[in-house]
Chains A and B, each alone.
Chain A
Amino acid sequence: MTNKPIAAAAVSLLALGLALGVTPAAAARMDATIGMQLEPPNLDPTGGAAAAIDEVVYANVFEGLTRFGADGSILPALAKSWEISDDGLTYTFMLNEGVKFHDGTDFDAEDVKFSLDRARADDSTNAQKALFADIASVDVVDPATVKVTLSKPNGSFLFNMAWGDAVIVAPESAADNAAKPVGTGPFKLNEWVKGDRVELGRYDGYWGTPVKLDKVTFKFISDPTAAFAAMMADDIDAYPTFPAPENLVQFESDPRFEVIIGSSEGETILAMNNKQAPLDNVKVRQAVAHAIDRQAIIDGAMFGYGTPIGTHFAPHNPAYVDLTAQSAYDPEKSKALLAEAGVSDLTLSLKLPPPSYARRGGEIIAAQLRDVGIETEITNVEWAQWLDDVFKAKNFDLTIVSHTEPMDIGIYGRDDYYFQYGDADFKAIMADLDKATDPAKRTELMQAAQKKIADDYVNGYLFQLARTGVSNAKLKGIWPNSPTQANDMTGVYWED
Chain B
Amino acid sequence: MTAASPDRSFLRAALGHPAFVIGFALSLLFIALALVSFVWTPFDPTKLAIANKLKTPTFEHWFGTDHFGRDMFSMIMVGARVSIAVAFVAVGIGMLIGVPLGLYAAARRGSLVDEVIMRGNDLVFAFPSLLLAIMITAVFGPGAVNAIIAIGIFNVPVFARLARGAALSLWTRDFVLAARVAGKTRARISAEHILPNIANLLIVQGTIQFSLAILAEAALAYVGLGAQPPLPSWGRMLADAQTLISLAPHMALFPGFAIIITVLGLNLMGDGLRDLFDPKLRRGR
Give a binary string over A206-235; 1 marks a CB under 8 Å from any B CB, 0 the rest: 000000000000000000110010000000
Q: Which residues of B contact A378 (CB under 8 A)?
A: 228-230
Residue contact A380 to B243, C-beta cutoff 8 Å: no
Please report which residues of chain B, range 110-160, place their CB below 8 angstroms from some CB of chain A when the two chains form the complex: 141-143
Is B50 interfacial (CB 8 A cutoff)?
A: yes
Is B46 interfacial (CB 8 A cutoff)?
A: yes
Which of B48, B141, B242, B246 is in CB contact (< 8 Å) with A364? B48
A-B CB contact pairs (8 Å), 29 listed: A224-B243, A244-B243, A246-B67, A246-B244, A246-B247, A247-B243, A247-B246, A247-B247, A249-B247, A296-B50, A299-B51, A299-B53, A300-B48, A300-B67, A356-B243, A363-B230, A364-B48, A364-B50, A364-B68, A366-B229, A367-B47, A367-B68, A367-B230, A370-B230, A377-B228, A378-B228, A378-B230, A379-B142, A379-B228
Q: Given the complex of chains A and B, what is the CA–CA distance between A224 and B46 in angstroms?
A: 26
Residue contact A225 to B46, C-beta cutoff 8 Å: no
Is A190 interfacial (CB 8 A cutoff)?
A: no
Which of A224, A228, A296, A380 is in CB contact (< 8 Å) with B48? A296
What is the predominant secondary structure among interface residues of chain A facing chain B?
helix
Given contacts A366-B230, A378-B228, 10 further A-B contacts (CB under 8 A): A246-B243, A247-B247, A249-B247, A250-B247, A299-B53, A300-B50, A300-B67, A362-B229, A363-B229, A367-B46
Give a binary string over A112-135; 1 marks a CB under 8 Å from any B CB, 0 the rest: 000000000000000000000000
Which of B141, B224, B242 is in CB contact (< 8 Å) with A225? B242
Please report which residues of chain A, range 292-323, place their CB below 8 angstroms from some CB of chain B when the two chains form the complex: 296, 299-300
Residue contact B247 to A225, C-beta cutoff 8 Å: no
Is A360 interfacial (CB 8 A cutoff)?
A: yes
Q: Which residues of A contact B48 (CB under 8 A)?
A: 296, 300, 363-364, 367
7 closest residue pairs by CB, A with B: A300-B50, A244-B243, A380-B224, A367-B48, A224-B243, A296-B50, A363-B229
Is B245 interfacial (CB 8 A cutoff)?
A: yes
Q: Given the complex of chains A and B, what is the CA–CA distance between A356 and B242 in angstroms?
A: 12
Nearest CB on A from B59, distance (A): 24
A246, A367, A378, A380 — which one has the most chain B CB atoms within 10 A of its CB?
A367
Residue contact A228 to B228, C-beta cutoff 8 Å: no
Q: Which residues of B contact A379 (CB under 8 A)?
A: 141-143, 228
Question: How many residues does chain B have at the interface if contact means C-beta atoms less than 8 Å apart?
Answer: 22
Residue contact A380 to B228, C-beta cutoff 8 Å: yes
Q: Which residues of A contact B242 (CB under 8 A)?
A: 225
Please report which residues of chain B, range 212-247, place their CB below 8 angstroms from some CB of chain A when the two chains form the complex: 224, 228-230, 242-247
Nearest CB on A from B247, distance (A): 6
Nearest CB on A from B175, distance (A): 54
Query: Known: A296-B50, A300-B50, A380-B228. Contact between A228 and B243, CB under 8 A?
Result: yes
Give a binary string over B4-29; 1 marks a CB under 8 Å from any A CB, 0 the rest: 00000000000000000000000000
Q: Which residues of A contact B246 (CB under 8 A)?
A: 228, 247, 250
Q: Which residues of B contact A363 (CB under 8 A)?
A: 48, 68, 229-230
Closest to A362 in B: B229
Closest to B239 in A: A359
Closest to B245 in A: A225
Q: Which residues of B contact A299 (CB under 8 A)?
A: 50-51, 53
Give a binary string over A324-362; 1 marks a CB under 8 Å from any B CB, 0 the rest: 000000000000000000000000000000001000101
Q: Which residues of A contact B143 (CB under 8 A)?
A: 379
Please report which residues of chain A, range 129-166, place their CB below 8 angstroms from some CB of chain B when the two chains form the complex: none
Q: Given the complex of chains A and B, what is the CA–CA distance between A186 and B247 in angstroms?
A: 40
Q: Which residues of A contact B247 (CB under 8 A)?
A: 246-247, 249-250
Q: Which residues of A contact B229 (CB under 8 A)?
A: 362-363, 366, 378, 380
Query: Known: A367-B230, A379-B142. Contact between A300 and B53, CB under 8 A?
Result: yes
Q: Given the complex of chains A and B, what is the CA–CA distance between A228 and B51 in angstroms?
A: 25
Closest to B231 in A: A378
Q: Which residues of A contact B69 (CB under 8 A)?
A: 300
Give a binary string over A363-374; 1 marks a CB under 8 Å from any B CB, 0 the rest: 110110010000
Q: Given the complex of chains A and B, what is the CA–CA distance between A360 and B141 in angstroms?
A: 20
Please report which residues of chain A, range 252-310, place their CB below 8 angstroms from some CB of chain B when the two chains form the complex: 296, 299-300
Q: Given the complex of chains A and B, what is the CA–CA distance between A193 and B165 in angstroms?
A: 53
Closest to A232 in B: B246
Q: Given the complex of chains A and B, what is the CA–CA distance between A249 and B248 in angstroms?
A: 12
Nearest CB on A from B156, distance (A): 27
Closest to A249 in B: B247
Residue contact B67 to A360, C-beta cutoff 8 Å: yes
Closest to A300 in B: B50
Q: Which residues of B contact A244 (CB under 8 A)?
A: 243
Nearest CB on B from A377, distance (A): 8
Q: Which residues of B contact A367 (CB under 8 A)?
A: 46-48, 68, 230
Residue contact B142 to A225, C-beta cutoff 8 Å: no
Q: Given the complex of chains A and B, what is the CA–CA distance between A364 and B69 in angstroms?
A: 11
Q: Given the complex of chains A and B, what is the CA–CA distance between A363 and B69 in angstroms?
A: 12
Please report which residues of chain B, range 178-231, place their CB below 8 angstroms from some CB of chain A when the two chains form the complex: 224, 228-230
Q: Which residues of A contact B230 (CB under 8 A)?
A: 363, 366-367, 370, 378
Q: Which residues of B contact A228 (CB under 8 A)?
A: 243, 246
Closest to A367 in B: B48
Q: Given the complex of chains A and B, what is the CA–CA distance between A243 and B263 in angstroms?
A: 33
B48, B142, B143 — which one has the most chain A CB atoms within 10 A of its CB?
B48
Q: Which residues of B contact A300 (CB under 8 A)?
A: 48, 50, 53, 67-69
Nearest CB on A from B196, distance (A): 45
